[in-house]
């Protein structure tokens, strides 16, 4: 049975963040709010937790998982970023975007796309997500909390508990969260490629 904690969306309680970080370090799967919608998250180095997230979402290794990081310096540590890519990232982060980039050797191979060696990276614009990353002191491996067969992500903490009570260990419930996933931009080619239109504006990339 999942532990559900009510966390303030703008001023998250420190003791709850400390507890959540411990859950993650212990290999648990957590649900956290972001600036787009609720997400599933786990420790980057925990294969079992990663496999459980894929099972919950019913996705295989070809579906990009997303490394959620605190700032641009962390993105550059885990992904190869040239000057043009960096300028785009600086102009659009933090925000509701996931960027597909080539991963570095700092990342476990199992989290990368098996053929392309790419991964999704994002810097969220949400107080709870950012505070949790700061408390954890390292990135989170995440994915949108949208279950197979659903047309949109789950958007209420009670919905998450009702659907996933036996499959996750912790739910950080901040009430209603968004139900529109991030905009996904592939930056590995000559020009940015739109893979999914979501909450993030398309204007900075000239897709409007």
pLDDT tens for residues 104-143?
Answer: 999 999 999 999 999 999 999 999 999 999 999 999 999 9
The Cα-based distances of 24 to 33, 122, 154, 159, 186 in angstroms read: 15, 19, 21, 22, 28
What is the pTM for the complete model shown?
A: 0.95
For the stretch 24-64, pLDDT in tens is 999 999 999 999 999 999 999 999 999 999 999 999 988 99
State the Cα–Cα distance between residues 171 and 72, nearest whole angstrom.
27
Q: Quick one: average pLDDT of 149-154?
A: 93
The answer to whether residue 208 sits within a structural domain is no
The answer to whether residue 206 sits within a structural domain is no
The answer to whether residue 100 sits within a structural domain is yes
The answer to whether residue 49 sits within a structural domain is yes
CATH of the domain at 161: 3.90.870.10
Beta-strand runs (E) in 3-92: 3-6, 30-32, 39-43, 66-68
Q: Quick one: average pLDDT of 90-97?
A: 96
Q: What domain range includes position 146?
A: 3-199
The answer to whether residue 204 sits within a structural domain is no
The answer to whether residue 53 sits within a structural domain is yes
The Cα-based distances of 164 to 42, 47, 158 in angstroms read: 15, 20, 10
Taking a C-beta distance cutoff of 8 angstroms, is the pair 31, 178 a contact? no
The answer to whether residue 82 sits within a structural domain is yes
Q: How many domains does the chain have?
A: 1
The answer to whether residue 135 sits within a structural domain is yes
């Amino acid at each position: 049975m999942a532990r559900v904690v009510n966390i303030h969306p703008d001023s998250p309680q420190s003791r709850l963040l400390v507890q959540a970080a411990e859950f993650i370090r212990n290999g648990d799967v957590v649900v956290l709010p972001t600036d787009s919608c609720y997400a599933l998250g786990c420790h980057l180095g925990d294969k079992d937790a990663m496999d459980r997230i894929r099972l919950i979402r019913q996705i295989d290794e070809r579906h990009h998982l997303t490394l959620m990081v605190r700032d641009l310096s962390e993105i550059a540590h885990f992904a190869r970023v040239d000057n043009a890519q960096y300028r785009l990232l600086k102009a659009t982060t933090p925000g509701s975007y996931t960027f597909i980039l080539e991963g570095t050797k700092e990342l476990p191979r199992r989290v990368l796309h098996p053929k392309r060696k790419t991964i999704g990276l994002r810097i969220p614009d949400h107080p709870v997500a950012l505070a949790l990353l700061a408390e954890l002191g390292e990135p989170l491996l995440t994915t949108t909390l949208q279950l197979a067969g659903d047309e949109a992500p789950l958007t209420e903490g009670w919905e998450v508990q009702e659907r996933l009570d036996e499959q996750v260990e912790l739910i950080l419930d901040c009430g209603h969260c968004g139900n529109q996933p991030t905009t996904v931009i592939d930056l590995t080619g000559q020009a940015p490629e739109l893979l999914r239109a979501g909450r993030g504006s398309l204007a900075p990339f000239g897709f409007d």
